[in-house]
Structure 1
Amino acid sequence: MKLSLLAVTVFLSAGLTACGGGSGGSDSASASDLESKTIDLGESLFHDTNLSLDRTQSCATCHDPDHAFTDPSTNDGGNVRAASLGDDGVSLGDRNTPTALYSASIPEFSFGTHRRFNSPQADYVGYIGGQFWDGRATTLEDQAGGPPLNPVEMNMPDKATVVARLRENTGYEEAFTELYGTNIFDDVDAAYSAMTQAIAAFERSPVMSPFNSKYDKFIRGEYQYSPVSKAALGKARFFSQQFTNCATCHQLRPNGNSGETFSNYEFHNIGVPVNTELRTANGSEDGFTDTGLAAIDAVSDETDTSGLEGKFRVPTLRNVGVTAPYMHNGVFQSLDTVIRFYDRHLTNSTNGINPETGIAWAAPEVGENISFTELRQGTALSENDIEGLVCFLYSLTDEQYEHLLPEDAAECGL
C-alpha cells in the first residue's frame, strides 16, 4: 500500500533530521510545509523540458494538464496519436499514453486476490496494480524514474546527466538540499531517487485526483441523473449483474462509495488487435508481439509465463470520454467502438463489424489467454444500451474537462 502524503513528508522530515537537516532549517518545518514544498517541487519537475536530451519534452508534454493529463497531439490524419512522439520529434513508442490522473490510486504491483462487485464472477486471483500498462513499475516513484531514461521518450543517456540538468537550476538545488539534505547531490542515485519522490508527491496531490465529475457529485448528493436520460440508462446497465460485464473489472468499491476509480486494476487479455498503423509508423520489426504482463521483470522468475501473455492492467474509466484513443495501443478512436468491441463476445450480438474500418474485427494480437469468462458475461446490448453506456461514461468526466467532451454529449441528458 502506498504511503499517504503526510506519511511521505514525515518520512522526509525524519530523514533530514538524521542527516543533519537541510539548508533551510527543516528540523523546525512542519509536516504540512514539507508536503507543500515537495509537491511544488514535483510539479515543477513534471513540467520541466530541460530533463529531456533535446530540452523539448517534459512529463506534461505527454500528460497535458489541459487535456486530462493525456497527450492531445494529432497525427497527419487529424486523429489523436496512438502513441506519443519522443524528445527527438521522430521516435514513437508502441503504447498509448494513459492519463496520469488518479495514478495515485493504483496499488503497488503484487500478486493477490480481491472481491468483485456487481458481478457473478468469483473473486479475482492474480497480479494486480503497478504503473504503466504492464505494471512493470511497482510504485509511482518507480514510474517517475522511467521516462527520462527511455530512448523513445525523454532520451537522457543516464541518471548522472539528468542530475546535472537538475543542478543547472539554482531553485532546484535549494529545494533539493532543503527537502533531502545538504549532501543530496553527492550521490547520483540518491539525487535521482529524490527527483522521483518529488514527482510522485505531486501525482499524489489532490489536483491529480479531483473526484469532481457528475458521478462524484451524485454520490455526494449534489447531482441527480434524470431518470429518463440516456446517462441514467447507461448507469443502470453499467452496474447491472444481469445485463453487462462492465463492473466486473471496472468497479473498485461497493456501490455508493466515494473514491471510485472505475478500475480494480486486474490484468486481462481482452483480445485487442494489433494497431497496424502505429506499427508501420514506429518501425516495429515484422512479427513483433507485445506480450504485456508476461514480459516484465517482476514475473520473470515464473517457470512459465505463457499464461500471462497479452494481459494488460485494467485502466481507469475516469475522464475516458475525453482521452481517446483507446486500448493499450490506441487502436480504437471512439467509445462507441470500444463498447461494440466488448459486445461482440455476447450471445446474439449483432456487432460483428468494426465501425471504424467497416470490416470484421481484426484477430487478437495474442489469441491465447483471452478472458472469455469475464467477456462473455451479460446479454447483447441494444443501440439504446450502447448510447446509454457512452453517456454514463461521459458523466465520469471531471468538471474542468467537461468542455472537451464531444458534441454528442449534449444528447445525454447530463
Structure 2
Amino acid sequence: MSPWLVVALSVLVSACGGDSSDKAAFSSRAELGESLFADTNLSLNRTQSCATCHDPERAFTDGRTGSDGKVRAVSLGDDGTSLGDRNAPTASYASFSPAFAFGSRSRFNSQQSDYEGWLGGQFHDGRATDLQAQAGGPPLNPLEMGMADRAAVIDRLLENPDYVDSFEALYGADIFDDVDAAYQALTDAIAEFEKTDVFAPFDSAYDRYLAGDTDVYDVILHPKAALGKTLFFSQQFTNCATCHQLNAQGSKTETFTGYEYHNIGVPVNQAVRAANGVTGQDTGLQNNNEAVTAASERGKFKVPTLRNVAVTAPYMHNGVFAELDTVIRFYDQHLTGSSNTINPETGVAWANPEVADNISTTELRDGSLLDDDDVTALVCFLRTLTDSRYEALLPEDNLCD
C-alpha cells in the first residue's frame, strides 16, 4: 500500500472520531476491572487471582478444598504452600461498607442504644479504608499473590497489549510513566468492578418477597423460615438485628450488617494454627490498623454481611466453625441458662476466646434463650438471603421443608 494512502486513511479515521479508546479491549473501568480480577498473571507464579479467593461461582469466597475434601478455613497462597490466618471474607456486597472511620449509627429492632465506635472499611479488621485500598493488598502480600512490589505488578500489565491500550484510553496516555499512578489505576478498575450488580444483585428469595413476587411465598412464609424472620427482626427474642440490620425493616438495600466492630469471643482455630505455624494472638482491629491502638479495641472484628451466609462456610474471621447451626448455637451459649453448652462440631464445651478482653457482653447477652426449633428457624431464614445465582449451592436436605 502506498505510504500516501496510509496517511490518507489515518486522516480519514481521525476525522471519523477514531482515537485510542476505539481500539481499547475494555470500554469501561469496570470491564477492565473484571479482567484484572480474574487474571492469574498478576501473581508471582501466575496461579492466583482475586477470583481464586473470591470465586464468583462460590459467592465470592474461597471454595477450594484441602486434602480432607473440606473447604479450607484459610486460603492457600500462590506458592502452593503458604496459609493465611484468616478466612477470606465474601466480596459480595462489599461496596456498601462505608469508608473506615470512627462514628456512630442508628440501630434497628434492638433494645440496645445506638452504636458509637469504629465502622466500615475492608478486610476483617478494617485496615483498608475502602475497596480501592483493599484491592491493592493481595498482589503484594507474600502469603497471597506474592509479587515483589508495585513495579513487578505493572510489568505484568505491560505484557498484555489489551491492558496497555485500555489503561491508556481509560486513565490517560501517560499512565504507565508513573508506577504508583498505574498501580492506583489498577486498584481503581478492580474497585469499579466490585461496585457492579454482579456483586450485589439484591435478588434473593427475601428480596423477591419484598418486591411482591408470590412465587417465593412458599419459601419465605414457610412456618420455619417465617419464624426465623420473626426471631431475627425481634427486639425481644434475639439480638440478631442489633448488629446485623443496617436500615429500617423492609429496605431494598439491606446488607444485614451495621459494619460495627465487636469481640464475640471466637476461639482460636487450632487446626489452622497447627498448619500455618502462626503464634500469638490475633487482636483484630487493634492489631492491624495504625489508627487504632487502644487496648479497648483488642479482639474486635467487623460484623460481616449475612447475605449468602448459608453458602459461604466456614464461619468467623478464622473459619473455626463449619456449620451455620453451630454459629447460632455459639451466640446462644453467651446467654445465662443456655442449653447450648457443647460445640456440636467437637462434642466438647466451647473453647475459650482467643482474646478474652472487650467481649461485647451487652449485645451478646440480650435476647431470649433459643431451643432447637428456634435455631432451625433462624438457619432457614438465613438461607432465604442467598442470591438467586447461588441457590443451587444451598444444602440438599429437608431441614426447611
Q: Where on the TM-score scale, by shorter chain, does this alignment land: which range?
A: over 0.9
- Residues 1:403 and 2:361 aligned together: no
The correspondence for 1:152, drawn from 143, 147, 151, is 143
Larger Rg: 2
User: What amino acid is aligned across from residue 73 of structure 1 in structure 2?
Assistant: R
Alpha-carbon distance in structure 1 between the residues aligned to 2:210 and 2:220: 14
Counterpart in 1 of 2:383?
394
Counterpart in 2 of 1:325?
314
Alpha-carbon distance in structure 2 between the residues aligned to 1:411 and 1:358: 21
Counterpart in 2 of 1:69?
60
- Residues 1:257 and 2:257 aligned together: no
Counterpart in 2 of 1:24?
21
What's the offset of the Cα at 1:78?
2.0
Please show how residues 137-216 of structure 1 align to structure 2 within 5 Å: 137-216=128-207
Counterpart in 2 of 1:5?
none
- Residues 1:349 and 2:338 aligned together: yes
Cα deviation 1:135-193 (Å, max 9, x = unaligned): 00001000000000000000000000000000000000000000000000000000000
Point out where structure 1 has 5 or more consecutive residues left out of the alignment.
1-21
RMSD of aligned alpha carbons: 1.7
User: What amino acid is aligned across from residue 86 of structure 2 in structure 1?
Assistant: R
What's the offset of the Cα at 1:214?
0.4
Over 3 Å off, 4+ runs: 225-228
Counterpart in 2 of 1:52?
43
Alpha-carbon distance in structure 1 between the residues aligned to 2:31 and 2:63: 24
SS of the residue corresponding to residue 185 of structure 2 reads: helix
User: What amino acid is aligned across from residue 397 of structure 1 in structure 2?
Assistant: T
User: What amino acid is aligned across from residue 21 of structure 2 in structure 1?
Assistant: G
Counterpart in 2 of 1:337?
326
Q: Is the 8 A contact 1:215 1:395 kept in 2?
A: yes
Alpha-carbon distance in structure 1 between the residues aligned to 2:290 and 2:120: 12
User: What amino acid is aligned across from residue 218 of structure 1 in structure 2?
Assistant: Y
Q: Is the 8 A contact 2:220 2:384 kept in 1?
A: no
The correspondence for 2:367, drawn from 378, 396, 406, is 378
- The TM-score with structure 1 as length reference comes to 0.89
- Residues 1:290 and 2:287 aligned together: no
User: What amino acid is aligned across from residue 400 of structure 2 in structure 1?
Assistant: C
User: What amino acid is aligned across from residue 236 of structure 1 in structure 2?
Assistant: T
What's the offset of the Cα at 1:219?
1.2
Counterpart in 1 of 2:226?
232
SS of the residue corresponding to residue 206 of structure 1 reads: coil
- The TM-score with structure 2 as length reference comes to 0.92
SS of the residue corresponding to residue 21 of structure 2 reads: coil
User: What is the count of residue pairs matched by the alignment?
Assistant: 381
What's the offset of the Cα at 1:25?
7.3
Cα deviation 1:251-277 (Å, max 9, x = unaligned): 000011101000000000000000000
Alpha-carbon distance in structure 1 between the residues aligned to 2:319 and 2:28: 36
Alpha-carbon distance in structure 2 between the residues aligned to 1:130 and 1:282: 26
Counterpart in 1 of 2:356?
367
SS of the residue corresponding to residue 208 of structure 1 reads: coil
User: What amino acid is aligned across from residue 162 of structure 2 in structure 1?
Assistant: G
Point out where structure 2 has 5 or more consecutive residues left out of the alignment.
1-18
- Residues 1:245 and 2:239 aligned together: yes
Q: Is the 8 A contact 1:39 1:202 kept in 2?
A: yes
User: What amino acid is aligned across from residue 269 of structure 1 in structure 2?
Assistant: N
User: What amino acid is aligned across from residue 292 of structure 1 in structure 2?
Assistant: G
Alpha-carbon distance in structure 2 between the residues aligned to 1:227 and 1:198: 41
